[in-house]
Amino acid sequence: MMRIVLSIVLLGLLPMLPAQTPSQPRVMPGTPAPKSEEQKRVAPGTPAPKAEAPKDEGQQVDDSGFTIQTQVQVVLVPTTVTDKKGHTVNGLKPQDFVLLDNDKQQQISRDVTFLPLSMVVCIQRSSNVDMVLPKIKQMGYVMHDLMIGQDGEAAIIGFDHRVDVLQGFTNDAEKINAAVEKLKPGSRTSRLNDSIQMAARMLRSKKDRRKSILMISETMDRSSEAKVKEVATELQIYNIDVYTLNISRLITRFTEKPGVPRPDPFPPAARPMPGVMANDPTTQSQVYGTPGYGVDFVPAIEEIFTATKAIFVKNPAEVYTQFTGGREYSFMSQKDLENAIEAIGSEIRAQYILSYSPNNKIEGGFHKIKVTVNRPGLKVRTRPGYWMAGVPN
């Protein structure tokens, strides 16, 4: 009787148990999840398929699914046009220019007559320019008003044996002036190339802006790690033009403070005297350099010969200005310095930014650029060319 009752109870409980189908086998805790049919068909060791990458501008996808990257080489050519009196000419259109790249005429695709300015001012603060620094330290507000303007920005670098950013990019005239006034004479070294390279790297991230460097220094470099070729290449890649306000080395050599003299290795009155000359007070004065005989003009004479030689051997400042289409200025007085800053500001604002995609990319090496205008009596100044590796068409 009891077996019959238990059988009836079990039969009543069966509908309440969860049904198991062959497609859903019972999974024990810790058992890996079953693979789908598509995963089962993939051979062992085959890497998982990659997610489809988003299509970027400049990429094309062919029928086989492979991505083809295309690059378009665009050359920017800052161009200054002046009349016979040296005044800048405004209002020209792209069709007024003729642009040749390696003697092949190019199609000018864009002419931007206005772009906000980003400028880095590199100022030498070596001890030998101590007499010139007071003139430069009064130019902070002048730089802002005559060059930077309301839409521009400037950064200040000071250099001797160090290259320091005294002020990052700003449009605040007070900050620019405070950074220039902060200049103090340092060592006798001047790392001109390194300062230009740092300025170029500060400007490389600036998009859709005019990028310029103003160098206020002597035209020679002392102890830079960067080479002229390296710096010029970066200036070309980032489309930066360089202007220089040259400090005369002849003036600095006559006005610089003398260095600390080295101690005399001979004790007093122990220096050997020429055997054919009497050891009198006059001879002693000539040997020891006492007042009346202590002036040495050899450094000044050497500097004059170096300056004469520099006419034929390009100095770094001249290389950078000519290679980028900039311009060199010099100054003697405070008024000269202010006039030069005003001239640079006027020229930068009046520049035409011509751009084109070369139709002769296959020609590697140096590409010579020549720009003319179809109006008589006008003079055009621009970068002489650029370096480019050959690119197959």
| CA neighbor of 243 nearest in space, from 140, 149, 320 | 320
Asked whether residue 358 carries a pLDDT value surpassing 70, the answer given is yes
| Half-sphere exposure for 214 (CA within 13 Å, toward CB) | 31
> 3-state class of 202 per DSSP?
helix
pLDDT band at 88 (very low <50, low <70, confident <90, very high): confident
- What does each C-alpha distance from 353 to 110, 149, 192, 332, 356 come to in angstroms? 8, 19, 27, 32, 10
pLDDT band at 230 (very low <50, low <70, confident <90, very high): confident
- Express each pLDDT in 118-139 by its tens digit: 999 999 999 888 888 999 999 9
Predicted local distance difference test score (pLDDT) of residue 302? 42
Predicted local distance difference test score (pLDDT) of residue 54? 38
> 3-state class of 2 per DSSP?
helix
Predicted local distance difference test score (pLDDT) of residue 72? 43
Please state which of the ranges 54-58, 80-84, 373-377 shows the lowest mean pLDDT.
54-58
- Which two structure tokens, joined as six digits, stand for 118? 């980003």
- Which two structure tokens, joined as six digits, stand for 191? 């790392």
Asked whether residue 310 carries a pLDDT value surpassing 60, the answer given is no
pLDDT band at 4 (very low <50, low <70, confident <90, very high): low
Predicted local distance difference test score (pLDDT) of residue 324? 87
Asked whether residue 40 carries a pLDDT value surpassing 60, the answer given is no
Mean pLDDT of 37-46: 50
Taking the whole predicted model, whether its pTM rises above 0.85 is answered as no
Long-range contacts of 221-224 (CB under 8 A, 24+ apart): 221/190, 221/191, 221/192, 221/193, 221/316, 222/188, 222/189, 222/190, 222/191, 222/192, 223/161, 223/189, 223/190, 223/191, 224/191, 224/192, 224/193, 224/194
Asked whether residue 205 carries a pLDDT value surpassing 50, the answer given is yes
Average pLDDT of the chain is 75
Q: How buried is 343 (Cβ within 10 angstroms: 0-12 exposed, 13-18 middle, 19+ buried)?
A: middle
Asked whether residue 305 carries a pLDDT value surpassing 90, the answer given is no
Asked whether residue 266 carries a pLDDT value surpassing 80, the answer given is no
Predicted local distance difference test score (pLDDT) of residue 171? 95
> 3-state class of 354 per DSSP?
strand
The pairing of beta strand 365-373 with beta strand 352-356? unpaired
Within the chain, where are the H helices? 2-13, 37-40, 133-136, 140-143, 173-181, 192-203, 228-237, 249-255, 281-288, 298-309, 316-324, 334-349
Q: Are 1 and 8 in contact (CB under 8 A)?
A: no
Asked whether residue 181 carries a pLDDT value surpassing 60, the answer given is yes
Angle among Cα 254, 255, 261 to the nearest 5 degrees reads 85
